[in-house]
């Protein structure tokens, strides 16, 4: 729980950076590196039990791959169709929808937290 609070506090600082600036990029790379390092330490400490769990969960992982692939294909398709269509107000892209939320610091922190959670789920 303490680690989650540390990552969220760091996220509050990170999301206050100017978007697309060098300081934001470096801060983001630090968060990614820390997330991977913590996940790797946790994975190594549970290596034996993970093998047994992986065997039991194989059918769920296959289903997860199908679901994630379908969602990714749907989002990419939506983006491509919206990019080619006009006007943008009638055919919004994902980035244009998120752009309005990005003007609020709390919303940027929420997007960071979701990104962090998804990254943790994939890394651990």
| pLDDT, mean over the chain | 81
Contacting residues for 3 by C-beta, under 8 A, at least 6 apart: 38
Distance CA 1, CA 72 (A): 30
- pLDDT at position 70 is 92
CA angle 114, 54, 38 (to 5 degrees): 45
pLDDT more than 70, % of the chain? 90
pLDDT tens-digit series, residues 45-102: 776 666 667 667 777 777 878 888 898 899 889 888 888 887 767 777 777 777 777 7
Mapping DSSP to helix (H, G, I), strand (E, B) and coil, where does residue 18 land?
Answer: coil
The tokens for 118 are 């998804």
């Amino acid at each position: 729980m303490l680690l989650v609070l540390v990552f969220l506090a760091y996220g509050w600082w990170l999301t206050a950076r100017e978007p697309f600036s060098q300081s934001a990029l470096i801060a983001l790379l630090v968060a990614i590196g820390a997330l991977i390092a913590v996940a790797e330490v946790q994975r190594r400490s549970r290596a034996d039990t993970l093998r047994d769990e992986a065997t039991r969960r194989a059918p769920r992982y296959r289903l997860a791959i199908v679901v994630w692939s379908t969602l990714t294909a749907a989002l990419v398709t939506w983006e491509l169709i919206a990019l080619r269509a006009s006007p943008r107000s009638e055919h919004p892209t994902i980035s244009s929808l998120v752009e309005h939320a990005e003007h609020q610091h709390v919303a940027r922190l929420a997007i960071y937290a979701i990104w962090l959670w998804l990254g943790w789920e994939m890394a651990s």
